[in-house]
Structure formats: structure tokens, C-alpha cells
A and B are shown apart, each in its own frame.
Chain A
Amino acid sequence: MIKIKSSEITTKEDYLSRRDFLKTAGIVTAGAALLAACGTQEEIPATPATQSLPADQEAAPLSEELTPQDSVLNYNNYYEFTTDKERVAKLAKDFKSSPWTVEVSGLVNKPQTFGVEDLISKFTIEERIYRMRCVEAWSMVIPWNGFTLASLLAAVEPTSDAKYVRFETLADPDQMPGLSNGLYPWPYQEGLRMDEALNDLTILSTGLYGETLAGQNGAPIRLVVPWKYGFKSIKSIIKIELVAEQPSTFWEDIAPNEYGFYANVNPAVAHPRWSQATERRIGELKRRETLPFNGYAEEVAHLYEGMDPNKLY
């Protein structure tokens, strides 16, 4: 049996007390409200009451602890650097994420290019604690810092022709050695339907665990769409484009039968080569059952009413 020392898992006390402070200061609201909405599935305590409990009692089946920051920083799928998840952090160590601009263009009334620091000061940075479910059947719980994509889109005023949002990642071969793998259709691109982009869960993140986003996590700005498989949450965005047609996306280009445009987390629809029924939460020993829409069905299931769930992988 593999025994993981509780000291390696539990880094949350410090963090929770910090959250507690933020809460008192009235900053954390959306994240907490969201957690409350999820009911018993989310039992991340608002107060550090579990501090006195022994480690084995903390790991109750339904509780969802934050994934240790160290794991979030050292287990990354970021193929522009390498396909080896545990080497991305090292290769992205000196990634230059400042200065950085994001061009927002296409079918909008006010196309603009924003500096990332302008975005951070312009919009309210909230904390959102989201599950992150990778298509490879592992998952994390990450406290993101960011603002809603809807607020950015409102600033550029999409026209009525805009039906989809297309995102593009930086492709700089000098900084990203993985780009030399010619088998991939660089640059990385992703897309959302307009209503998905405007959903309140969809955020652009500029940090996690209260710290500026690290290179390996998609610095300086990335998308987070928690009800979809992780590959939809595109990193290091340089361009956001409002378009009329469904844009082509990186993984769909490579294997359309395996990674579709929608890529909604769905335990009932298996990946053609492996099951999606369960997942391993990083830091936990036993597998968890994967939840429809990654546990966010209440917030997003209505977006897909009338659509064939088998087409939504």
C-alpha cells in the first residue's frame, strides 16, 4: 500500500485561515456562494474547525479538500513546454509573462488590446474554488483568482452576429520547447459558444491560491471552464476573437472522435479509449465517481437542453 503522509496533503489550514480573513473583509463571496449551491458535494469548511481532527477523519468520502498548491504547481498538461506533466514547471520557470497584451477583436463594436495589469485593475478579481477534471481521468480542486469572461466581453460589446468565442495561446518557440513537436497543429486554440462564454462560472484567471499565475499554470491569463474537461481551459491567452462560426479547436483538430468541441464532463460518455466514469483526485488514494458536468449541472445543464448528450463529449 502506498501511504501518503498527511503532512504532504494538508496544507489547507494556513490557507483556510487566510480565506477566513478575506471573508471577514468581505472579498470572498462568489466562490462561497457557489460552494453553498453545490450542497453536500462540497464540504470545504468555511472555518478551520477541522484543524483538531486527525488526518483520517478529514478524508470523509464526500469532502473535497483543496488540492495542495505544490501539486497544482507541479502537475501540468502544457504541451507547448513538454508532454511530461512533471517537467512543465521546470521548463516554464523563466517564462516571460510580462509585459503581456490580450487582443480582443472580431465581431465586436469596441475591439481593444488590453494589458494584463489593466484587466486586473479594471475588473473585480474574485476567488473561485473549482473542480478541475482532466480528460485523462484525474482531478484537482483549485482556488482560482480571476474575473468573469462575461465582464470582459461586455466591455468590447459583441455584435449580434457573434455566436462563438475563439481563444489563442502564445506560440513562442524560443520559450516553449514543446512547439518543436511538429505533430501538433500549433498554436493551441480553443472555443466556447456565446452562452457558455457568458455563463457566470466561466472565468479568466490571473492567479491561484492568491498568488500570480505561474508559467506552468498558464501565466499571465487563462480561461477556466469548470464543467468541461481541462483541455478547454486554454492557457497563456494572447487573443480572444468573437466569431460567427464554431471555431476549430486544438484537440478536435487532432482527434475529432476523441475530443469534441463541447467536451462537457460526462461520466456516462466514455472516451473512446478509456472510461470517464471515475477519476483520481490528486492527493487521494481511492477513485471518485465523476459527476455530470463535473458537479455543475445545476448551473449549466440548461445550456444543453435538447442536445444529444453523446454529442457533447
Chain B
Amino acid sequence: MNTKQWKFTPLQIAAHLGSLIPLALILWDISTSNFGVDPIRDFTLRTGKAALILLLLSLACTPVNTLFKFKQVLKLRRPFGLYSFFYASVHFAIFIGVDYFFNWNLIQDALLEKRYAIVGLTTGLILLALTITSTIGWQRRLKKNWKKLHKLAYVAGILAVVHYIWLVKQGVLDPWYFAAILLVLFILRLPAIKKGLTSLRKRNLQRASR
């Protein structure tokens, strides 16, 4: 066995286990028949939220490295992204198969004519494309374009938050917390901010080593 290939850092193990917690909780609730008043809505919301949180975590890795020079987190971008796609798929499957019970007429009305659903579907398609091209093989094949393609993760983040905002009634604050986190992540990526932060960190390091 190639031991090198299977070596996981504690951080990676924690990330995988953490990403599986929402799934474990859902399976636990199903197996113990612990359902809320509206279980379909509940499971749809929970899988959607898990997908959104994991997508934001995936987007947070790079800024965290910029801030703290913590290279290990860069390895988590892919698993977080893949788990996000996984939960988004379950979210979509519940919508189609359980909520609308494969009734295509209703799905057409609900999915293709409503902007929140169109935005959600677009987010899912982006995540699908990123998942398919997440392998090292595709990374090599697409060369420079791979990085460009995977910048779509930002777009997916924005669309996912918009999907959530358009779903709720005005004044319901939950999606706006996610919007605020996303905004902070974007600000940290602005070239000027990034440069400032990097030099600030270097200066602190120098001062500490003096």
C-alpha cells in the first residue's frame, strides 16, 4: 500500500468528519423518526444550508491562508467544495423526488418560472461542473483555464445566497448573515487588501523574530 497517498493531516480528518455531521444528523433523525412538523421543508432547508456553509468554507480557505500563512487549509478547498456539491444534490433530489414527487408539470411551474429556483438550479450546475473538473487529470487537461473555470466558485457563492434571500419573506435575517460572511471573504480577496494584509503579517513576523 502506498502510505504516502493515504496520509491525512488531523486538519483534513476534522474537515471530513465535520462535513459529514449534517448528513449524520439527518440520517439519525430519519432512523429515529424524529421529524419536525414539516419534515420535507426541514430536510430541504438543512441540506441547502449545509451546501451553502461548505461552499463558504471552501471559499474561506484562500483568505485564511493569506491572513495566517496557514498553507494546510488550501488542501481543504476541494473536499469542502465536493461536500457542498453532495449536499446540493441531496437538496435538489428532495425538491424533485419528494417535495414535487416527479410531477414534471408542477416542477416546470415551480422550477423554471421562478427566479429563486432558476438561480438555485444555476448554482447546482456550476457546482456540478466544478465537481467533474475537480480531479488532477482535469486540472492538467485544462491547464490555465482550470483556474479560470474554478473562479466560478465565487459566482456559485453569490448565487446560493441570492437563492436563499429570494426564498424568504422580507425582513427574515438568516440569509443576510451568509451574505455578510460572503462579503467579508470577497473583501479579503481584493488585491489591495490582500497586499496590505500580507505586508502587515510579514512586518509582525519580523518584529516577533527580532
A interface list, Cβ under 8 A from B: 1-5, 8, 70-71, 74-75, 79, 83, 85-86, 136, 138, 181, 183-184, 254-255, 258, 270, 273-275, 277-278, 280, 282, 285-287
Q: Is the CB of A273 within 8 A of B116?
A: yes
Contacting residue for A287 out of B103, B116, B166, B171, CB 8 A: B103
Specify the chain B residue showing the minimal Cβ separation from A286: B101
Specify the chain B residue showing the minimal Cβ separation from A86: B36
Contacting residue for B106 out of A5, A184, A278, A282, CB 8 A: A278
CA distance A188 to B33 in the complex (A): 37
Known: A183-B171, A275-B113, A287-B101. A8 touches B40 (CB 8 A): no
Within 41-72 of B, Cβ neighbours of A (below 8 Å) are at 41, 43
**Residues in B whose Cβ lies below 8 Å from that of A4:** 33, 35, 39
B132 contacts A by Cβ under 8 Å: no
Q: Is the CB of B35 within 8 A of A287?
A: no
Q: Is the CB of B37 within 8 A of A2?
A: no
**Residues in A whose Cβ lies below 8 Å from that of B180:** none
For this complex, 9 residue pairs linking A to B, each with C-beta atoms less than 8 Å apart, are: A1-B98, A2-B43, A4-B39, A75-B37, A83-B169, A183-B171, A287-B101, A287-B103, A287-B106
**Residues in A whose Cβ lies below 8 Å from that of B36:** 86
CA distance A3 to B39 in the complex (A): 10
CA distance A184 to B171 in the complex (A): 7
Q: Known contacts A2-B39, A75-B37; can you find 15 more A-B pairs with CB under 8 A?
A: A4-B33, A4-B39, A75-B38, A83-B171, A86-B36, A138-B38, A181-B171, A184-B171, A270-B113, A274-B116, A274-B167, A275-B106, A282-B38, A287-B99, A287-B106
Known: A287-B100, A287-B103. A86 touches B37 (CB 8 A): yes
Interface size class of B (residues with CB under 8 A): 20 to 34
Q: Is the CB of A83 within 8 A of B110?
A: no
Number of A-B contacts (CB under 8 A): 77
**Residues in A whose Cβ lies below 8 Å from that of B99:** 280, 287
Contacting residue for B41 out of A71, A138, A254, CB 8 A: A138
**Residues in B whose Cβ lies below 8 Å from that of A184:** 171
Q: Is the CB of B106 within 8 A of A181?
A: no
**Residues in A whose Cβ lies below 8 Å from that of B166:** 273
CA distance A5 to B34 in the complex (A): 10
Q: Is the CB of B170 within 8 A of A2?
A: no
Q: Is the CB of A183 within 8 A of B35?
A: no
Chain A to chain B: the 5 pairs with minimum beta-carbon distance, closest first: A75-B37, A183-B171, A71-B37, A83-B172, A275-B110
Specify the chain A residue showing the minimal Cβ separation from B106: A278
B181 contacts A by Cβ under 8 Å: no
Query: Most A CB atoms within 10 A — which of B103, B110, B169, B172?
Result: B169
CA distance A285 to B110 in the complex (A): 17
CA distance A2 to B173 in the complex (A): 29
**Residues in B whose Cβ lies below 8 Å from that of A3:** 33
B203 contacts A by Cβ under 8 Å: no
CA distance A255 to B116 in the complex (A): 17
* Interface bits B192-209 vs A (CB < 8 Å: 1, else 0): 000000000000000000
Whole-angstrom distance from the CB of A271 to the nearest CB of chain B?
9
B141 contacts A by Cβ under 8 Å: no
CA distance A143 to B130 in the complex (A): 51
Q: Is the CB of B103 within 8 A of A274?
A: no
**Residues in A whose Cβ lies below 8 Å from that of B41:** 138, 280
Q: Is the CB of B40 within 8 A of A2?
A: yes
**Residues in B whose Cβ lies below 8 Å from that of A255:** 170
Known: A4-B35, A138-B41, A285-B98. A274 touches B114 (CB 8 A): yes
Specify the chain B residue showing the minimal Cβ separation from A68: B37
CA distance A3 to B35 in the complex (A): 9
Q: Is the CB of A285 within 8 A of B109?
A: no
